Amino acid sequence: MLEKLKDKKTAIIATLFAMFLWGSAMPVIKTTYKEMGVAASNTGAQILIAGFRFFLAGVLAFIYFRSFNEEKLDKKNINIKYIIILSLIQTSIQYIFYYVGMSNTSGVKSSIIQATNSFLVVIISIIMLPNEKINLQTIIAIILGTLGIIVVNGGFTNMSSEFKFIGEGFILIATTFNALSSVFVRKYGASQNEVFTTASQFIIGSIILIVTGLFTKRISLTVTPLAIILIIYGAFISATSYIIWNTVLRYHSANEMGVYKLFVPIFGSLLSVWGLHEDFTIDLLIGLILVILGSIVLNLDTKNNKKKTSV
């Protein structure tokens, strides 16, 4: 079934679907908080919800592994240490910051800030990967992305009042850990089965989130049919988008398909405006344009590099 993604048109359609799923995560999380009666100050409940989502995502990823995996898994090659470290970086730590941050900022801002992931991957790669080098195009891209974040948060004059560390700051930290996990996978994960590794680290990371949430939540969660559907959909987002994106990268170059990742902040912003009735100001529009321009410049300079990312 996944071999159908060898066809370029099919791959583009599937990639756009994956980008839509990733973009829809922001309004889904905020709607889940509202449906379950989770206040911005109840960080324990937010972390617990994240744990439930990623436990289900891990189960779904294992189902995908059993259904679609075409590679024979050699148990001797499974790197337990690698999976545990990845689960801490990519699931536990990242989503503690992400879920708490989401409750203290808008979905539109979160979408735009998350779009800086590609810049952060480049910066971290230069530090961790000896063969990675910085050049003029990379510098221009990073400057444009940084300016985009500044504009989104009120510009140079109002940034101190517009920027909340526990809101926008936490989203930026979460995005940094996501970028770190991408570089970590590039450096150490070449010999590992991607689908099995993702399913395993989702499960391990989710257990840490669930235990942390249970011990720190302040009130009981209100469980409704809609809340359950939203959490299941969140799990579907994580497992499905990852499978699609990494399969597409197996058959097509990242330089060719990477430009479609620009649709994540676009979908995220539009869905937040539509679903959450958030304002889309001129500052947010300018910031989004700057981040997208930076991503375009960066993609022009990433020939033959495959960047692997999970939400």
- Predicted confidence at residue 310, as pLDDT, reads 46
Q: Alpha carbon of 131 to those of 134, 254, 290, 305: distances in Å?
A: 10, 18, 28, 12
Please state the pTM of the whole predicted model.
0.83
Instruction: Kindly tell me if the per-residue pLDDT of 180 is higher than 60.
Output: yes
CA distance 48 to 213: 4
Amino acid sitting at position 195: V
Residues whose CB is less than 8 angstroms from the CB of residue 270 and which lie 6 or more positions away in sequence, other chains included: 23
* 279 φψ region: left (φ > 0), alpha (ψ -120 to 50), beta (else): beta
CB atoms near residue 250 (< 10 Å): 12
pLDDT confidence band for 72 (50 / 70 / 90): confident
Instruction: Kindly tell me if the per-residue pLDDT of 266 is higher than 50.
Output: yes
Mean pLDDT of 47-62: 95
